[in-house]
Structure 1
Amino acid sequence: MSCDAAVGTSPVIGQAARARLQRRTLVVVMASQVLGGAGLAAGVTVGALLAQQMLGGDGVAGAPAALYTLGSAAAALLVGRASQRFGRRIGLGAGFAVGGLGALGVVAAAVADNIVVLFAALLVYGAGTATNLQARYAATDLARPTERGRAISVAMVSTTLGAVAGPNLVQPLGRLATTLGIPALAGPFLLAGIAYLAAGAVLWLLLRPDPLLIARRAENNIIEQADSTVERAPAAGSAVPPPRAGAWVGAAVMVLTQVSMVAIMTMTPVHMRAHHHGLGQVGLVIGVHIGAMYLPSLATGALVDRIGRIPMAAAAGTTLLAAGITAAAAPGDSLVGLIVALALLGLGWNFGLIAGTALVVDATEPRNRPRVQGSIDVAIALAGAGGGAVSGVVVSATDYATLALCGGFLSLALLPVLWWTRRDHAPLSRNP
């Protein structure tokens, strides 16, 4: 029996059918994340270099990261609201499609050498980044509480294949773009456009039945059964409950790790080019960084489920501090030093995102989850936009080492938040 037939119009599904649907959902999400990873790698790898080439000067090099993360903020809100109303399939599918159109717009802007079109297209391209991030929530809708960390990790590790391959295709994509009459630095965005559109198509066609709608249906049935003993079940339009405290703790973890990571990552390609590293070496460093962001996810998810959300969030702060110190201490011409620093940067972000996401999922319900998740991802995107915008200004006024140290020490702001949480809200540090 197919999953569609198993759930049909039944208000609830059995544990076996739910487990089968969860496995199918993970396969579809994994496929979309492989494609989405290839799409997001373009902006990370060559966005700053493209702006630097078109406008000149390091002061504007952080603008692309600021723009596509700002665009991802608006998209996170819209994708969250669409998912809340229509389900994950429509919300995520539409988000990837819009991001793909934005990536193709970046290519058109580079061909026309039009900076206004470039900035507008980067805003739209940010929808793909937001959607790629929100897809991790679809993996948790039907997961058991003790398996949520691992479900998140499966979705994230799938991003690795595309995200690591993308930066290492910079040179061949640049040559392909040149043969097509497109500036070499726009080549990765050509790949991003195709990848994002394909990811949207995968979700639109294959994410059936919708995991969020099934989870919500099961939750409503439980509420109706409980309420039937004392009063009528609440109407479908009844008030949506607010999230519990853990959602805001998770949000704080993800926001701080995002600022620290984006600020350092954004200016690394510019720093490397200033020290005469080639595009291939830039692609290698960013590829290692993105690999560290996603590849350890399976181990991280298991640790988040086993030892708790709060200890892993604390590990995120200390790892990001180590990344900032390493980046600041590494000589500009040291490829190995930069690889180590950016690997630590990606690993710290990985710890923070999975631990923070698990905290948010634990503190929400299917009735309020997409809206809360969308709002939190808006804050994450705005934090990234701020980090990206400020990074270029800081490097222009001081140097890359100062930026790296600032980013590293900023992550230590996590520790007092987590100490307060562990002291006053001890259950949040353990598995639900």
Structure 2
Amino acid sequence: MSTAVVPGIEEIARVQGRTVRVLAAGQVLGGVSFGATVSLGALLAADLSGEESLSGFATAAVTLGAALCAIPLARLAGVRGRRFALTLGNAFALAGIAIVILSAALRLFPLLLAGVILIGAGNAGNLQSRFAATDLATPRRRGRDLGTVVWATTVGGVLGPLMITPGEALGAVVGMPPLTGAYLFSIVAQVAALVLYLVALRPDPLALAQRIALSAGPSGPVVESDRPVAARYAMLAVAASHVVMASVMAMTPIHLSHIAHAAHGGHAVETTEITLLVGTTIALHVLGMYGASPLFGWLADRIGRVTTILAGLGILTLALGTLTLWPDEQPAVVVGLFLLGLGWSAGTVAGSALLTESTPIARRPRRQGLSDTTMTASAAVGSVLAGIVLGGPGYGALALIALAIVAVTALLSPLGRR
């Protein structure tokens, strides 16, 4: 690794500001693709498989793809830089979108899962953006910079689900298979994100942070510390927040379709009515996930990482309590999903900041990759089990099981302060 001239503090601050802006723009574009996949995946899986109990396999596949690629992409980032890992993720997502559209045309459920796995691989790259925002950040701004990049996903994440209905209309015009029209917007967004990272993410933030850490001069914004117990709790907090959010959210489109059919006395319901209901609900959920992330980043910097994690767990408790008590009321489901997103945001932002500052720069890519793998793999298993629970005890029971995970994570919070 080169130890050539290291920029001064002011130059590093300028690079960090530009890096955060580029990452934020990339997250806006990436959110369009992922938002559409989250909304359409369960519906496509149920349609192509003919079994609603298999609808959770779509979310499981996207999280499995992210889990399989998180560590390899993190290691590539450590060797080749963040830019290489992020653009490779965009390429995976583009290939996955093409396969999903093909699977819908051929009516092949296994091919759908293969495409969604590749989209998940692309999402593993997107997840790295939040860590890329911390590579050059000072400890006093680490949470806010991370939160800003996470917040940027709001725009694309909210637009993605809302583009389902107009995407269906556009897709019908150009002859796309049903439930795939919105992917036209995803393709454009992914190509734009790939070009953006290639052109604008220079110098590479992780490569520069590694140079600073190896330099003989002052280390600047890079703080070298190793607190493995706190790092492990940070991974737990992030994984628990994610598995709770993903498993409940994955079943919500199917559950909302049940509510819509019940409201019509069990008669057939127009597809556009269901997609509008699902798209609006998921858009509000995504707004909760990303919209308040700068606030949670600021809180993590001001009141502490673990305290903010506990606040997120409290919000998750409120969300799951609402879904447990009123599982078949559409307004309660909408409110519960919005709160679920808020709780996820607090846990993910504060947990990611805690993991970064508890790990020296040389070990960060590996631990960050391990964290993302743990987070996404647990969500993949949770999504599959959620489909089984939805087909048995029901949606309310699923929320109650998720509540137990939140309680255990809160009880272990003293580990994060070691």
After superposition, give the CA deviation of every residue in 1:169-193 in whole Å (9 maximum; x if it has no partner).
1101011112222223112333323
Aligned partner of 2:361: which letter?
P
Structure 2: runs of 5 or more not aligned: 261-272
In structure 1, distance between residues paired with 2:99 and 2:176:
12
Closer/same/farther in 2, CA of residues 365 and 204 from structure 1, 3 Å limit? farther
Which one of 302, 313, 337 corresponds to residue 306 of structure 1? 302
Whether 1:43 and 2:27 are equivalent positions in the alignment is no
CA apart distance, 1:165: 0.7
**Matched ranges for 1:341-420 at <5 A:** 341-420=336-415
Contact 2:135-2:209 at 8 Å conserved across structures: yes
1:186 — aligned with what?
A: 180
How far did residue 122 of structure 1 move?
1.1
Structure 1 residue 116: Cα displacement: 2.2
Distance in 2 of aligned mates of 1:184 and 1:355: 39
| Matches for 1:58-97 after TM superposition, within 5 Å | 58-97=52-91
Equivalent residue for 2:263?
A: none
1:324 touches 1:406 (CA, 8 Å); kept in 2?
no
Range moving further from structure 2, 60-69 or 176-185: 176-185
Superposed CA RMSD in Å reads: 1.9
Whole-Å separation in 1 of the counterparts to 2:185 and 2:403: 32
CA contact (8 A) 2:241 2:347 kept: yes
Shift of the alpha carbon at 1:133?
Answer: 1.2
Q: State the number of aligned residues.
A: 401
In 2, the alpha carbon distance for the partners of 1:269 and 1:279 equals 9
- Specify the alignment match of 1:229 in structure 2: none
Q: Could you give the per-residue CA deviations for residues 332-362 of structure 1, whole angstroms, max 9, x where no partner exists? A: 2x33212210011000000100111011110
8 A Cα contact 1:321 1:409, kept in partner: no
Q: 2:347 and 2:169 mapped to 1: Cα distance? A: 37
Counterpart position of 1:295: 291
* 1:140 has 2:134 as partner: yes
Shift of residue 364, structure 1, vs aligned partner: 1.7
**Which residue of structure 1 aligns with residue 241 of structure 2?**
257
Shift of 1:225: 8.2
- For the Cα contact (< 8 Å) 1:261–1:345, is it kept in 2? yes
Partner of 1:114: 108
Asked whether the equivalents of residues 35 and 198 of structure 1 are also in contact (C-alpha less than 8 Å), the reply is yes
2:328 is the alignment partner of 1:321: no
Indicate the residue corresponding to 2:228 in structure 1.
Answer: 244
Q: For residues 60 and 73 of structure 1, what CA distance do their matches in structure 2 show?
A: 20
The separation in 1 between residues aligned to 2:169 and 2:326, in whole angstroms, is 31
Instruction: Tell me the equivalent position of 2:252.
Output: 268
1:243 CA displacement: 6.4
Relative to the length of structure 2, the TM-score reads 0.92
% identical equivalent positions: 35
User: Structure 1, unaligned stretches of length 5 or more?
Assistant: 1-7, 227-239, 426-432
Deviation at 1:330, TM superposition (A): 2.5
1:209 matched to 2:203 = yes
Give distance in 2, aligned partners of 1:393 and 1:362: 38
Is the CA contact (8 Å cut-off) linking 1:242 and 1:368 kept in structure 2?
Answer: no
Q: Distance in 2 between matches of 1:356 and 1:111?
A: 41
**Residue 333 of structure 2 is aligned to residue 338 of structure 1:** yes
1:36 & 1:66 partners in 2: Cα distance?
Answer: 19
Residue type matched to 1:150 in 2? R
The verdict on how the C-alpha distance between 1:80 and 1:165 changes in structure 2, with shifts beyond 3 A counting, is same
* Native 8 Å contact 2:71 2:373 kept in 1: yes
Q: Aligned partner of 1:264: which letter?
A: V
Conservation of the 8 A alpha-carbon contact between 2:104 and 2:178? no
The answer (yes or no) to whether the contact 1:322–1:408 under 8 Å persists in 2 is no
Are the equivalent residues in 1 in contact too, given 2:327–2:396 (CA < 8 A)? no
- The 8 Å contact of residues 136 and 152 in structure 1, kept in 2 or not, is answered as yes
Per-residue deviation at 1:271?
Answer: 0.3
Check conservation: 2:259, 2:330, Cα contact below 8 A.
no
